[in-house]
């Protein structure tokens, strides 16, 4: 069965390591914070200028001067630091963030990602997404494997305008965990109960399937 949003987040969380500085995008990526393994410490970077994002505030703690990149009120974790936007993106662009998790509309076999605009529809902008995909070495894209109409989002060539070129190496969908290398998708894991055939059918770009494809463990 396809993973729920929480399950996607849960599987991503297994890629965390102790002492990681992590930037989580809006949507499913945000949920990853809920599944940090016990005894492991990670620090969340919010690109509006906060390293060490804490949980949401109580009513009494709300501070209009303390928000995250999604414009939500937040708190600071112990050991947090505050900086300006140039410093924040120096951190991101300079490759100092250990893991970035973000959503996408499409990815392709060359590691291209399209995530910010659909021509003809209202364009809101890329925010920090282009900087994040260009700056990070270690990125996990989370998305549904296919559209509601069954159209694959894992393509030979992205059809939408790109957010980044050749940046993506790991994709976690509701059906599979996929690595991108040498111009091909590689199937690493399948969601529990999801067949390799179903994944193959819904992957438009070339997919390398090893003899044994393990089910995801949580």
Partner 1 sequence: MAGFNKVVNSYEEAMAGLTDNMTIISGGFGLCGIPENLISEIKRKGCKGLTLVSNNCGVDDFGLGILLPDRQIQKIVASYVGENAEFERQMMSGELAVELTPQGTLAEKMRAGGAGIPAFYTATGVGTPVAEGKDVRQFNGREYILEESITGDFAIVKAWKADKFGNLVFRKTARNFNPMAATAGKITVVEVEEIVEPGELDPDEIHTPGIYVNRLIKGTFEKRIEQRTTRPAGE
Q: Which of 9, 33, 48, 172 binds partner 1 (CB under 8 A)?
A: 48
What sign does the dihedral 10-195-138-151 (CA atoms) show?
negative
**Residue 74 is a binding residue for partner 1 (CB under 8 A):** yes
| Residue 166 vs 213, nearer CB to partner 1 | 166
Token pair listed for 7: 């399950």
Per-position x/- string for 10-39, each x denoting binding to partner 1 as judged by CB under 8 A, each - no binding: --------xx-x-----------------x
**Residue 197 is a binding residue for partner 1 (CB under 8 A):** no
Q: Which helix (H) or strand (E) holds 26?
A: none
Question: DSSP per residue over 198-216, as a string?
Answer: HHHHT--S-EE--S--PBP
Q: Which of 93, 169, 184, 186 binds partner 1 (CB under 8 A)?
A: 93
| Residue 4 vs 72, nearer CB to partner 1 | 72
Per-position x/- string for 138-167, each x denoting binding to partner 1 as judged by CB under 8 A, each - no binding: -----------------------xxxxxx-
| Residue 127 vs 188, nearer CB to partner 1 | 127
Place of tokens 């069954």: 150
Residues 95-134 that bind partner 1 (CB under 8 A): 95-97, 112, 117, 122-131, 134
Q: Compute the distance between CA of residue 44 and CA of residue 101 in angstroms, rounded to an integer.
A: 11
Q: Which of 1, 14, 62, 118 binds partner 1 (CB under 8 A)?
A: 62
Q: For residue 7, with 0-12 CB atoms within 10 Å meaning exposed, 13-18 middle and 19 or more buried, which class applies?
A: buried
Which region among 3-11, 76-84, 191-199, 200-208 touches partner 1 (by CB under 8 A)?
Answer: 76-84
Cα–Cα separations (whole angstroms), residue 169 to 46, 55, 183: 22, 29, 10
**Residue 43 is a binding residue for partner 1 (CB under 8 A):** yes
Catalytic residues: 47
Q: Compute the distance between CA of residue 177 and CA of residue 132 in angstroms, rounded to an integer.
A: 21
Residues 168-187 that bind partner 1 (CB under 8 A): none
| Residue 96 vs 181, nearer CB to partner 1 | 96
Contact 50, 87 (CB under 8 A): no
Q: Compute the distance between CA of residue 45 and CA of residue 72 in angstroms, rounded to an integer.
A: 14
């Amino acid at each position: 069965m396809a993973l729920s949003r929480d399950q996607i987040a849960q599987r991503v969380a297994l890629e965390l390591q102790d002492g990681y500085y992590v930037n989580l995008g809006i949507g499913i990526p945000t949920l990853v914070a809920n599944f940090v393994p016990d005894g492991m410490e990670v620090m969340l970077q919010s690109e509006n200028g906060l390293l060490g994002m804490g949980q949401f505030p109580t009513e009494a703690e709300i501070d209009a001067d303390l928000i995250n990149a999604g414009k939500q009120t937040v708190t600071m974790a112990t050991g947090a630091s505050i900086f300006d936007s140039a410093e924040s993106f120096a951190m991101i662009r300079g490759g100092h963030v250990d893991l970035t998790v973000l959503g996408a509309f499409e990815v392709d076999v060359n590691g291209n990602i399209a995530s910010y605009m659909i021509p003809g529809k209202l364009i809101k902008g890329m925010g920090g997404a282009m900087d994040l995909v260009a700056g990070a070495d270690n990125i996990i894209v989370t998305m549904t494997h296919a559209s509601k109409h069954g159209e694959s989002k894992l393509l030979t060539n992205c059809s939408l305008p790109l957010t980044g070129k050749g940046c993506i190496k790991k994709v976690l969908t509701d059906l599979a965990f996929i690595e991108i290398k040498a111009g091909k998708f590689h199937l690493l894991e399948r969601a529990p109960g999801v067949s390799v055939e179903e994944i193959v059918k819904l992957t438009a770009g070339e997919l390398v399937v090893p003899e044994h494809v393990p089910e995801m463990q949580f």
